[in-house]
Amino acid sequence: MSAPALRVAHLYPRLMNIYGDRGNIMCLRRRCEARGIGFELTDLSTGDRLDPAAFDLIFAGGAQDREQRGVAEDLLATKAAAVREAVERDVVLLAVCGAYQLFGRSYRESTGVELPGAGIFDLRTEHPGPGAKRCIGNIVAEWGAPDGTTRTIVGFENHGGRTRLGPGARPLARVRRGFGNNGEDGTEGAVYRNAIGTYIHGSLLPKNPALADHLIATALRRRHGEVALAPIDDRAELRAHEAALRLR
């Protein structure tokens, strides 16, 4: 039997790549290749269509507001329905910051303009207005991992929008330090089926190897069944995680 391969779609890699979000793709590739797992990456940009049956994991990062507006239009026109179908088929999705906002039901900009979202997550995001302070800084949150343990997730957030979850989504984590979804209710990110949305940059996965491996294992399971992920040397990643825990 041939070794499994992880098939990844990276949405808008040039337009949605702020604060090192591409590092999440680099992390997934390294962790797969260190275990002899194949890694097949497809970049999909404006105008490109997504085949909901072609991928095990879909990733999209964050952007400035100007790029986000252009992506919002293209997302609805060419990819939103396919991403929704993929998520309903239990394909893994990781959406960071701007993509997280656009994959909700709507995003209201600081100008009051409302961008319709792709509707993957039951959430809405509103910017309080041009005079509002941004949610910016280092963040630590508590994630309930699938093995029943509670893990810390660390990173960096910088967003003006405030996100509130509806009943169809649950939080990814609970904020220990930082703002998270809105700076008020203590939630960070959202989960629906195998789709995860989060505000955490920095980038997320290299500093949080347990979460990275959870995504890899979940993505492979759908097509290959249970795939045991061999241990790899995480000393550098864990040092980065511990250093992030100490940041204020």
pLDDT tier, 1 (very low <50, low <70, confident <90, very high otherwise): low
Give me the residue spans of the domains in the chain. Answer: 5-246
Please say if the pLDDT value at position 190 is more than 60: yes
Query: How crowded is the C-beta side of 35, counted as CA atoms within 13 Å?
Result: 22
pLDDT of residue 148: 93
Question: Each residue of 192-204: pLDDT tens digit?
Answer: 999 999 999 988 9
Question: Each residue of 103-127: pLDDT tens digit?
Answer: 999 999 988 989 999 999 999 999 9
Please say if the pLDDT value at position 2 is more than 90: no
Residues annotated catalytic, as ranges? 97, 201
pLDDT (mean) for 212-235:
96
Please say if the pLDDT value at position 137 is more than 70: yes
Position 107, amino acid: Y
Which residues on adjacent β-strands are paired with residue 59?
Answer: 10, 94
Tell me the CATH class for 5-246: alpha beta
pLDDT of residue 19: 81
pLDDT of residue 17: 87
Question: Each residue of 14-58: pLDDT tens digit?
Answer: 999 888 899 999 999 999 999 999 999 999 999 999 999 999 999
The helix, strand and coil proportions of the chain, stated in percent and rounded to the nearest 5, come to 25, 30, 45
Model confidence, pTM: 0.96
The continuous run of DSSP H or E covering 176 comes out as: strand 173-177
